[in-house]
Amino acid sequence: MSGIQRGKEVTRRIAIYGKGGIGKSTISSNLSAALSERGVKVLQIGCDPKHDSTRLLTGEERCRTVLEYMKDVPPNERELGDLVLRGFGNTLCVEAGGPEPGVGCAGRGIITAFDLLRDLGIDSIDHDLVLYDVLGDVVCGGFAVPIRDGYADTIYVVTSGEYMSIYAANNILRGVSNYNPDRIGGIIFNSRGDDYEKARVEAFSEAVNIPIVARIERSNLFLSAEKESKTVVEKYPDTGLADSFRELANIVIEGKKHRARFLTETELEMTVLGMSRGHHADYERKERIKASSKPRVYASKSVKEKTILHGCAFSGAVNTCLSVEGLCTLMHSTRNCSQFAFQLTANSVKRAYRTNMLPCDAALVPDAICTRLDEGSMIFGGNDKLRDCLQDAVDSGRKHIAVITSCAPGIIGDDVRGIVDQFKRTYPDVKIAFLEEDGNLNGDHMQGLIDACKGIVREFAVKDLPKQDCISMVGIKPMANNMISNIKRIEDILGRAGITVRCNIMGDCSVEDIERMTESRLSFLVTEDQFAREQRSLLKDEYGMEFSDNPIGVGMRSTESWMKDIAKVFGKEKEIESALKEFREEYKKRIEHLLPYFEGKTVYVASLSRNVGWVSEIIDDLKMIPVRKTIMLRADRTYDDHAKGSDDYEITSTEDVESIVADVNAKRPDFLFSMYAMDVDESIRQFKIPIVTEIGPYGATDMIERFIRECRRPKTEGWKKDVL
């Protein structure tokens, strides 16, 4: 037999592709039957979720699908014999299977099924030819597996004369051309009885220069044979229809191949439907229908500027939710994604504890649940696991839940929103915030922080509560080491005037705080950056909350500004002025202590943030001499485009870090103030401008005092001298 050789080294592998419902399975089964008559040992693998490819070969007995087997049987109990049935002519039959319609990912299922068959030793069984019967409407990576190198060496395309069938055939040729294009066995014309279809298929065949290798006529013999779960070759072996498959079997055995060529959509319509180029030109000139839409608002700078994403939106949303006391964080994700996000929060708690002995209480023992998606979930969908976890959370008495999606649910199309809405209707006393992050598909870590803050507020906050003598702080960074210490500083300052903090959005707060946040008579940004401004816009526009024009920033001047706003709104002028007087006196003492170290010294400022008003203030108060003050605009770092205090800074987007380093070395200042350590001359002392500063009147002096202690350390570590 030319083209077919015994032994495992030269096993032929062919794939039958075509549009769904075009008759691939019928053709594949009859072809396998015809090949078996020639003594070819055929292994037919059905790659359609309907798992009906081999039913005409196996009769009444159906193959157990690979994916259902994988789902039900533990790995250590799996055997290949459970999946392979012998059919007509000793053909070997396997069905990959797939998920229920509308859930999961059938393409991923094909990949997993092939992997399991390989691991169970499918290649070791005695066969001469593998026939893959594959759905051709969807040419995603999963269904494209049989046309990749290493699987099918020859691809046959089944089509009728209907336009959409030929359209699918053209797409299959396009898919083959993305791999090794010289593997097309030919076109199998499965007639539907249309008077004009022969001309259409022949025109397509001529246009792509691929021959029609078989013409299967429409016949009632197919229906008659299928009623008995048999092929035509078995039921009616002496008919011309059976001979058509024997002739196709001879062509397959011969194994002649052609190069894949495909048509553009315009060429396809002109070839098959006879449309002119003028028709397409007229269509392009028609006025397009315009529809109003509300696209998702991306607030993260990295997303807006299309730069490298730092972390994923899933982890950012998880970190935010875990910092809220009384909130159950339900992570619809794999275990490793949940562990990664959980560990980020745990690390921030540890850093905060080491730095200030003040970790976030809610994050110390977080209330978190993971749906534990796995390989099976990627195939069959994770809806059931989400329902089970939500039901467990509700049954355990949890009243406030945040559901956050990782990449997997977004890829496989889980109906998370529908499930959440169903639970809301069933349990109206349970509030569920749905955060559709889909891992990093919706942005980076910062985007997740922003989305979580907005989503939690929208779900839990109560509008239009009576105003109380309290404030809310907006723009809290939940992973900052100094989050709790910053909050306590402000609480101590406000306590002097008898004013409380209602809510820290979104930091060391409870669900109850969020519910009652609209009681705040006045709200403040803790820093004027994009993260805080996004939240302010939401709270002003949708909840009518009043905001001070002055953020709770760093240093004495900032403190005076926002405290004077407190005095006006709350009628606390006397108390506020008394507190400010005390702060000014203490601030003056601290500056006097620091002056000997800095007065008259030169300083170079290279910031990635525009929130530098406090930097200028401390430089002026310490009587330092700036040699250059610059802000380097980088899309992945500069989040606060409109911050106050940067008017006297040089804004540069043309210089890279290396040129800044060279400039610093050339100017040789005594000090370099920058957000990240730079490789400059070791004689230049570097002060790190923190990403999250320490707010309050003494924030800048506290940071400078720590800097002095660092400066007193030797420039070169002594232990290095002991190393040979």
Active-site residue list: 19, 24, 50, 137
CA–CA separation, 183 vs 179, rounded Å? Answer: 10
| Alpha helix positions (H), 359-495 | 361-364, 375-380, 383-395, 407-412, 416-426, 445-460, 483-495
Alpha-carbon distance of 723 to 111, in angstroms, equals 54
**Which is nearest to 332 in space by CA: 432, 446, 431?**
432
Give CA torsion, residues 573, 578, 580, 584, to 10 deg: 150
Cβ atoms < 10 Å from Cβ of 542: 13
- The span from the CA of 257 to the CA of 186, in Å, is 7
- Tokens 């003040």 belong to which residue? 358
Token match 């008259």: residue? 600
d(CA 363, CA 368): 10
The 3-class SS string of 103-167 reads CCCHHHHHHHHHHHHHHCCHHHCCCCEEEEEEECCCCCCCCCHHHCCCCCCEEEEEECCCHHHHH
What do you get for the CA distance between the two ends of the chain, in Å? 74
Q: How far lies 344's CA from each of 247, 312, 337, 348, 361, in Å?
A: 64, 12, 11, 6, 16
Calculate ∠ Cα 338-339-340, nearest 5°: 90
Backbone angles phi, psi at 610, to 5 degrees: -90, -5
SS3 breakdown of the chain: % helix, strand, coil, rounded to 5?
A: 45, 15, 40
Q: Is 578 helix (H, G, I), strand (E, B) or coil?
A: helix
Q: Is the peptide bond before 556 cis (omega within 30 degrees of 0)?
A: no
The amino acid present at 580, given as its one-letter code, is L
